[in-house]
Structure 1
Amino acid sequence: VGTRVSGKVVSITNYGAFIELEPGIEGLVHISEMSWTRNVRHPSKLVSIGETIEAVVLKVDPNEEKISLGMKQTEQDPWMMLPEKYPIGTRLNGKVRNLTSFGAFVEIEPGIDGLIHISDMSWTKRVQHPSEVVKKGDSVDVVILNVDAENKRISLGLKQATEDPWLRIGETYPVGTELRGKVVRLMDKGVVVDIGNDIEGFVPVSQLNFGQPVTSPADIVYETMNLDLRVLEVDPIHRRIVLAVTGIPAEQPPRPETPSKVIPMESDDYNMTDPIPTPPDSYIEEPA
């Protein structure tokens, strides 16, 4: 056990490859012992019949006449070196390799992928799917958030590679600032408007009425409608901007034929999104 050997691949099955070490003696490299970094779906992805490979003897069972071999054990597990190589906060560039509902896989070096979770893609945008921000093949700047060598997981941040605009939101939109925004959602307690740069603000119902009672925001506004606004309150900690309507521009996009849906607010949070998907316990995938 532990001996380094070489041999020729004589047959391939779904679960591994048989290696002839000498005439009449074969060992099995199980599919799980082929690579530290790839989730190999079939041994033929890595070896072919007739190929000579290096391996390490993992187990010898003389009673069963079986020899277990490992290909990946011929080199050090690269994952064990990653925490030292990539301390938390390290900035690097990688290539988007695959997208899932919960994030984007980014190759940071050959065979090593990290995950940008959907919640770490944008400081301001309500990302519903990673394809709204990145696409397969993109080169992206990311920051190391966590390295779990034991479970072979690297967490990456895309938004962390840029400054959080909410840190300076009070300078960008001081109280009293007048601006124009577009209605993006109607809530039962008010209206959410896009004021630019993926920043959304909230207009309470009380700031919609123009002196007249309003039972629902839909009585006055609709999605895509433009509004003239004034900043009443800025709360960078809770990422809230409260606005008042000062006027309604004459030129407007046409009102949708289907009435805008009014979403109930269960709290003071107007940033309503679908539940953020969570990654599975193991997300190492075979590179496409």
Structure 2
Amino acid sequence: EFGLFIGLSADIDGMVHMSDLSWDEAGEDAMKHFEKGQVVKAKVLDVDVEKERISLGIKQLQEDPAADALASIQKGSIVTCIVTAVQANGIEVKVDDVLSGFIRRAELARDKAEQRPERFAVGERVDAKVVTVDRTARKVALTIKGREVEEDKQAINEYGSADSGASLGDILGAAIRRRNTDGEG
């Protein structure tokens, strides 16, 4: 129930905890790939002489596939994710095909009427802002709402001000007209 016990010699056993079986699969799912009597390679993670325990790891024989993504992702950055599951309380996503992420229902859109997980489909690509990075659990929390609010603030800063009395539609219209004019000249 805790993992795999591995005989290292006639009278020495080690244990691979479920969390040290696979980078990608949950412990119970990873355990299904092993059976009694199977020969496996493992890395020694810790030796506790007093408790007579040897901790082993199988996933540590390979590099963590999420290591590069975890090293490059920062709180506040905008990332493109792929929806992997739609739930009542939000959507699960993958970032860089390796990091699991979640966007809570309240973070799906600025407009409350759009905060419906069912409007998303598995396989759909969405841009979201990183709220937190849990490097130990290899997961990220994200927000689409926060990304939308940030984009609005940038548009107002670049193309108008809150004091000008201009609506966001006026500001965006000016931005589009400016882009079209700049693109032609």
Identical aligned residues as a percent:
28
| Kept after mapping to 2: 8 A contact 1:79/1:149 | no
Compute the TM-score of the two structures, normalised by the length of structure 2: 0.61
Aligned CA-pair RMSD? 3.7
1:39 correspondence with 2:30: no
Judge conservation of contact 1:120–1:160 (CA < 8 Å) in 2. yes
Unaligned 5+ segments in structure 1 are 1-13, 174-288
Q: Which has the higher helix share?
A: 2
- Bigger fraction of residues in strand: 1
The answer on whether the counterparts of 1:118 and 1:129 sit within 8 Å (CA) in structure 2 is yes
1:140 aligned residue (97, 101, 126): 126
Contact between 1:34 and 1:40, CA under 8 Å: does it hold in 2? yes
SS of corresponding position for 1:32: helix
Q: Would you say the 8 A contact 2:17–2:56 is kept in 1?
A: yes
Relative to 1, partners in 2 of residues 1:146 and 1:67: Cα closer, same or farther, differing over 3 Å?
closer
- Structure 1 counterpart of 2:34: 48
Farther-moved stretch of structure 1 (105-114 vs 135-144): 135-144
Is the contact made by 1:99 and 1:136 (CA closer than 8 Å) also made in structure 2?
yes
Unaligned runs of 5+ in 2: 161-165, 171-185
The number of equivalent residue pairs is 158
Question: Residue in 2 aligned with 1:16?
Answer: 3
| 2:106 paired residue among 115, 119, 126 | 119
> Does residue 172 of structure 1 match 2:169?
yes
| Distance of 2:168 and 2:30 partners within structure 1 | 58
- Which runs of structure 2 are paired with 1:51-90 in the superposition (5 Å)? 52-60=39-47, 66-75=53-62, 82=69, 84-90=71-77
Return the alpha-carbon distance in structure 2 between the equivalents of residues 84 and 77 of structure 1.
Answer: 11
C-alpha distance in structure 2 between counterparts of 1:43 and 1:99, whole Å: 24
Taking the aligned partners of 2:124 and 2:143, their CA distance within structure 1 comes to: 15
In structure 2, what is the Cα distance between the partners aligned to 1:124 and 1:56? Answer: 50
Contact 1:123-1:164 at 8 Å conserved across structures: no
The structure-2 alpha-carbon separation of the partners of 1:93 and 1:51, relative to structure 1 and needing over 3 Å to count, comes to: farther
- What amino acid sits opposite 1:121 in the alignment? L
Residues 212-246 of structure 1: per-residue CA shift (max 9 Å, x gap)? xxxxxxxxxxxxxxxxxxxxxxxxxxxxxxxxxxx
Q: Secondary structure at the match of 2:85?
A: strand
The whole-number CA distance in structure 1 between the counterparts of 2:134 and 2:31 is 29
